C-alpha cells in the first residue's frame, strides 16, 4: 500500500497560497497519495499544493499541479474533491477542458497529459501577470481609453490572493469587455481576454 511518506515532497517544492487558512478538506488521503505518487512517477519534477481559503469553514478540496518554469495562474492542472477521494473533477488553466476522473489512475493520466500539453499564454509568476495587466492599463490610458483603464484599475486593486478579490477583478474586466471593448484596438482586446481568462480560472478553481 502506498504510504503518505512515500509521496511527500521537500517542503520547498510545495508552494502555499500567499494568504488564507486551512479549510474543511483533508490534507491527504489514500487516493491523493496514489495520485501524487503516480504523477511524480511520470513527471518527477512536478510541484503541487493544496489551495487555501478565506475561512476555516470553507471547502479547500482543490489540489494544483504544475511543472517548474510554468505559472500557477496559466500552467497548472487542478483536481477537486471535497473529501479528497475519487472521483475528482480535473480542470486546467491551460485550456477550457474539464473532466470527471473516476479513479486515481484516470486522474493521474489526465493530469500528466494536460501538464504536457501546450496551453494559453503562460506567465512565469504572479509578478509577470500583474506587470502585464499594468502595461495594458498604461496602453489604454495612452490610447485615450481612460475610462477602461480606470475600471480595470479599480478591480485590480481588489486582488488580495483570495477568491473574493479575484472575483471583483474578473467583474471589472468583464464590464470593460461588455461596455468598451468595441472601441479598443484588436491587440488590446486580445490582451484583455488573456487577463479575463486568468482571472476566471482564479475564481472558479474553487
pLDDT in the model for residue 16: 44
Query: How far is Cα 6 from Cα 94, in angstroms, rounded to an integer?
Result: 29
pLDDT in the model for residue 26: 96
Q: Collapsing DSSP states into helix, strand and coil, what is residue 62? A: strand
Query: How far is Cα 84 from Cα 73, in angstroms, rounded to an integer?
Result: 22
pLDDT in the model for residue 96: 64
Per-residue pLDDT of the chain (206 residues; tens, 9 = 90+): 333 333 333 333 344 445 678 999 999 999 999 999 999 999 999 999 998 888 899 999 999 999 987 777 667 899 999 999 999 999 887 766 788 999 999 999 999 998 988 666 667 788 888 999 999 999 999 999 999 999 999 999 999 878 899 999 999 999 999 999 889 888 888 888 888 888 887 887 64
**Residue 36 contacts residue 84 (beta carbons within 8 Å):** no
Q: Collapsing DSSP states into helix, strand and coil, what is residue 92? A: strand
Q: Is the dihedral of CA 20, 165, 80, 24 positive or negative?
A: positive
Domain boundaries, the chain: 4-116, 126-204
Q: How far is CA 126 from CA 45, 130, 133, 164, 199, in A?
A: 20, 6, 11, 17, 12
Find the helix packing angle between 146-156 and 163-180, rounded to 10°: 170
Query: How far is Cα 35 from Cα 23, in angstroms, rounded to an integer?
Result: 21
Torsions phi, psi of 53, nearest 5? -135, 175
- 24's grid cell: 474543511
Amino acid at each position: 500500500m502506498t504510504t503518505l511518506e512515500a509521496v511527500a515532497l521537500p517542503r520547498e517544492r510545495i508552494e502555499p497560497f500567499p494568504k488564507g487558512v486551512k479549510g474543511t478538506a483533508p490534507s491527504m488521503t489514500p487516493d491523493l497519495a496514489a495520485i501524487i505518487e503516480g504523477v511524480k512517477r511520470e513527471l518527477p519534477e512536478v510541484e503541487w499544493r493544496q489551495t487555501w481559503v478565506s475561512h476555516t469553514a470553507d471547502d479547500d478540496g482543490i489540489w494544483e499541479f504544475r511543472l517548474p518554469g510554468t505559472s500557477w495562474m496559466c500552467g497548472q492542472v487542478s483536481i477537486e474533491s471535497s473529501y479528497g477521494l475519487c472521483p475528482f473533477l480535473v480542470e486546467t488553466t491551460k485550456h477550457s477542458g474539464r473532466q470527471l476522473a473516476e479513479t486515481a489512475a484516470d486522474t493521474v493520466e489526465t493530469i500528466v497529459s494536460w501538464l504536457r500539453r501546450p496551453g494559453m499564454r503562460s506567465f512565469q509568476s504572479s509578478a509577470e501577470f500583474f506587470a502585464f495587466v499594468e502595461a495594458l492599463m498604461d496602453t489604454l490610458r495612452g490610447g485615450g481609453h481612460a475610462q477602461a483603464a480606470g475600471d480595470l484599475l479599480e478591480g485590480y486593486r481588489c486582488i488580495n490572493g483570495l477568491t473574493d478579490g479575484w472575483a471583483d477583478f474578473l467583474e471589472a474586466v468583464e464590464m470593460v469587455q461588455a461596455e468598451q471593448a468595441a472601441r479598443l484596438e484588436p491587440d488590446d482586446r486580445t490582451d484583455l481576454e488573456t487577463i479575463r481568462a486568468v482571472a476566471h480560472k482564479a475564481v472558479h478553481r474553487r
